[in-house]
Amino acid sequence: MIELRNISLGFGSRTLIEGASTRFECGRMIALLGRNGTGKSTLLRAIAALGEARCGEIIIDGKPLSEYNSAELARKVAFVNTERVDVEALTAYDLVAIGRSPYTGWSGRLTKEDRSIVERAMQIAGVEAMADRRVETLSDGEAQRVMIARALAQDTPAILLDEPTAFLDLPNRYELCTLLGRLAREEGKCVIFSTHELDIALSLADSIALVYTPRLVHLSTEEMISSGNIERLFNGDYAGFDAESRSIRIFQGR
């Protein structure tokens, strides 16, 4: 679905990722891991055409990203970030309905089919009860799920999520990521999400893309654990990853 060919990313003189090549397939949930500021968001933004790669090519559904116009791309890739949308008098339903924009006419009028897609998207994300609520009254967790419903309404084969679990509590994090996993496996979508939640990534994701500056390592979850990359990357002075227990260990008295 999404293919990176020798991608390099960076700002100014700073290089984040260099020469990354890999494929993200449909029907898989891919966790994007890496330390702070190593280019996880930059990579997702590049795939969503919100930023440009320094060199290399991104191929989406067999066509280079540069050949897509914004409306075409919006039918292939949906993008969810952590930004809250707080607009006066905007209802959750209307917000989700904006996800139908790539398919509607000049005025954005919804057809009966569009409406049923919007309703289904809200059901899948578990926000159908909030349809008439104003977005400014939603909690952070609810707002995040409404944004995911919006991405689902976009009906794209690929969904990118930038730290979707950032504002959620532990049960909600697992619930959300289980939902994303179901979307990948049951609806055949290619779901890529960046996260700092190692345990969630290891227990739920099909494969892991790790930003190991300046490389991007993409392996299946099992291979990634046994590769030792995670231990090396996440070992700080006070805590580190323990491959045997698949969890973070705090070092005492180091």
Partner 1 sequence: MKLKRLDILHPLLFSLLGVLIAGLFVADLLVGTTRIPLDEVWAALRGVASSEHYEMIVCRMRLPKVIVAILSGMALSASGLQMQTLFRNPLAGPYVLGINSGASFGVALFTMALPMLGAVSGGWLMRFGVTGMAWIGSAAILMMVMSLSRRIKNINVILILGMMLGSAISAVVGILQYIGTEESLKAFMVWTMGSLSAVTIDDMYIFVPAIILGLVLAVAVVKPLNMLLLGEANARTVGLNVVRSRVIIFLSTTLLAGSVTAFCGPIGFIGLAMPHLARMTFRTADHRVLVPASMLWGAVSMLLCCFICDVVAHNGLMLPVNSITSLLGVPIIIFVVLRNRNRR
From CA 31, how far away is CA 83, in angstroms rounded? 20
Selected range binding partner 1 among 1-9, 96-104, 166-174, 204-212, rule: CB under 8 A: 96-104
Selected range binding partner 1 among 94-102, 176-184, 204-212, 214-222, rule: CB under 8 A: 94-102
Task: Note whether 12 binds partner 1 by CB under 8 A.
Answer: no
- Within 13 Å and on the Cβ side, how many CA atoms surround 92? 25
Here the tokens at position 17 are 């990722």
Per CB under 8 A, the list member of 106, 238, 245, 254 interacting with partner 1 is 106
Beta strands in 152-230, from DSSP E residues, in sequence order: 158-162, 190-194, 207-212, 215-220
Least Å distance between CB 171 and partner 1? 24
Task: Note whether 82 binds partner 1 by CB under 8 A.
Answer: no
From CA 193, how far away is CA 81, in angstroms rounded? 10
Q: What is the CA radius of gyration of the chain?
A: 19
- Phi/psi of residue 122, each to 5°? -70, -35
Query: Which residues within the stretch 126-155 sit at the binding site for partner 1 (CB under 8 A)?
Result: 131-132, 136, 150, 154
**Strands 77-80 and 158-162, how do they pair?**
parallel
Task: Note whether 222 binds partner 1 by CB under 8 A.
Answer: no
Per CB under 8 A, the list member of 36, 107, 245, 252 interacting with partner 1 is 107
Query: Which residues within the stretch 52-71 sit at the binding site for partner 1 (CB under 8 A)?
Result: 69-71
| Whether 65 contacts 4, CB under 8 Å | no
For partner 1, the binding residues (CB under 8 A) are 48-50, 69-75, 77-79, 81, 83, 85-91, 93-95, 98-99, 101-102, 104, 106-109, 115, 119, 131-132, 136, 150, 154
